[in-house]
Amino acid sequence: MTASLLDRLPEVRGDYGEAVPMARHTWFGVGGPADVIFSPADAADLGAFLAACPADIPVLPVGAGSNLLVRDGGIAGVVIRLGEHMKSISHDGDIVTASAGATDADVARYAARNGLAGLEFLIGIPGTVGGGLRMNAGAYGGEFKDITIRAHGFDRSGTPVTATPEQMGMAYRHTDAPADWVFTHAEFSATAGDTDTIKARMKEIVGSRGDAQPRGVRTGGSTFANPQDGKAWQEIDSAGCRGMVIGGAQVSEKHCNFLINTGGASAHDIELLGETVRQRVSSGGGPRLRWEIRRVGHLAEGQPDPQQPGPQQPGPQQPGPQQSSQTGGASHDG
């Protein structure tokens, strides 16, 4: 399959990789292989690739993999990774232009160095500009929709596209931008500010994040979006799921909307744990939680459907004893 797939792909200036384990490219550290990974040299290379890539070959853009759960069977088709080469950041007056593969933290640091305020919240989001646009990522009172002037990219046929946040219907952890758009860059609005004050605010955000979230663990951040009238972590806590374990996956003791790969988790363990949590919350009278983490790829052979938690699946182990220092992570809304 892979050899014939590469044969069907156009010549590019960037790089192709074959059968690349996605576990290397996701924060969870799990996920089967992508048939092919393509790292475009620049936006023109990406546009030419999309225009020439046969329409029946699926493509999936991926940033830092900080909001992705890639299933154990891997991803059919081509994963497009923009973080290798497309990372440039520049500014003209108080408008910052960043490529889709630039990390949010690098954009925040660049703005701070250049005395540009308003982008501080980006320091706390471990993704890229492309993933932030797709997710309308946000934290500490800021969201991509508040700072984005225009986003640019290509559709699946390689035709350039551009849109404002309003045109993309950006809302809480959501955008209506067509699913086939691959973002290449965006302009962000900032305001003139004092570098020391901006850096102090960023330091505050980083410190507060460390208090509320588990550190140095393999996670995808907030698993579920907050329901309309409440907080996902509170629903999970009330359903008694804090600390719950399935295989190598665990609901974080510290921030119970985070799922953790404690070492040997499979993507299946993590997805099944998430589905079990959702079921417990809703069967206890809570809302049907919506996955914020994007689940992609296919199950490995023989794995039962994690969306049907039931007797054929490994059951959860009892949560451990709760500690008094636990928080729900209420200081960020990611």
Ligand X SMILES: Cc1cc2nc3c(=O)[nH]c(=O)nc-3n(C[C@H](O)[C@H](O)[C@H](O)COP(=O)(O)OP(=O)(O)OC[C@H]3O[C@@H](n4cnc5c(N)ncnc54)[C@H](O)[C@@H]3O)c2cc1C
d(CA 43, CA 161): 12
292 catalytic, yes or no?
yes
Regarding 138 and contact with ligand X (CB under 6 A), the answer is: yes
Regarding 294 and contact with ligand X (CB under 6 A), the answer is: yes
* DSSP run (H or E) holding 78: strand 75-81
Q: How far is the CB of 192 from ligand X (least distance, A)?
A: 26
Q: How many CB atoms lie within 10 A of CB 311?
A: 5
d(CA 64, CA 102): 9
Q: How far is the CB of 71 from ligand X (least distance, A)?
A: 14
Q: How far is the CB of 77 from ligand X (least distance, A)?
A: 12
Could you tell me the sign of the dihedral formed by the alpha carbons of 262, 268, 269, 272, in that order?
A: positive
Regarding 183 and contact with ligand X (CB under 6 A), the answer is: yes
Window of 4-12, 90-98, 179-187, 311-319 that interacts with ligand X by CB under 6 A: 179-187
Among 134, 242, 255, 268, contact with ligand X (rule: CB under 6 A): 134
Regarding 127 and contact with ligand X (CB under 6 A), the answer is: yes
Among 135, 186, 267, 272, contact with ligand X (rule: CB under 6 A): 135
For ligand X, which is the closer residue by CB, 14 or 127? 127
Query: Cα-flanking dihedrals φ and ψ of residue 146, to 5°?
Result: -80, -25
Window 55-84: contact mask with ligand X (x via CB under 6 A): -----xxxxxxxxx-------------x--
For ligand X, which is the closer residue by CB, 63 or 74? 63
Q: How far is the CB of 21 from ligand X (least distance, A)?
A: 15
Regarding 128 and contact with ligand X (CB under 6 A), the answer is: yes
Coil, strand or helix at 330: coil
d(CA 334, CA 331): 9
From the list 222, 266, 271, 275, the catalytic residue is: 222
Among 125, 170, 186, 241, contact with ligand X (rule: CB under 6 A): 125
d(CA 150, CA 171): 15
- Maximal CA-CA distance, the chain: 60
Question: What six digits make up the tokens of 219?
Answer: 């996670």
Q: How far is the CB of 135 from ligand X (least distance, A)?
A: 4
Q: How far is the CB of 334 from ligand X (least distance, A)?
A: 2
Q: How far is the CB of 141 from ligand X (least distance, A)?
A: 11
Window 247-286: contact mask with ligand X (x via CB under 6 A): ----------------------------------------
d(CA 305, CA 301): 11
Q: Rule CB under 6 A: which of 211-240 touch ligand X?
A: 219-221
Regarding 100 and contact with ligand X (CB under 6 A), the answer is: yes
d(CA 313, CA 266): 14
- C-alpha distances in angstroms, 86 versus 58, 90, 156, 296? 21, 13, 18, 23
Regarding 130 and contact with ligand X (CB under 6 A), the answer is: yes
HEC profile of 275-307? HHHHHHHHHCCCCCCCECCEEECCCCCCCCCCC
173 catalytic, yes or no?
yes
What lies within 8 Å, CB to CB, of 35 at 6+ separation is 1, 2, 5, 18, 19, 74, 75, 76, 77, 78
Among 14, 47, 118, 126, contact with ligand X (rule: CB under 6 A): 126
From the list 81, 173, 218, 242, the catalytic residue is: 173
Binding residues for ligand X, rule: CB under 6 A, are 27, 60-68, 82, 100, 124-128, 130-132, 134-135, 137-139, 181-183, 219-221, 294, 332, 334
Q: Which residues are known catalytic residues?
A: 173, 222, 292
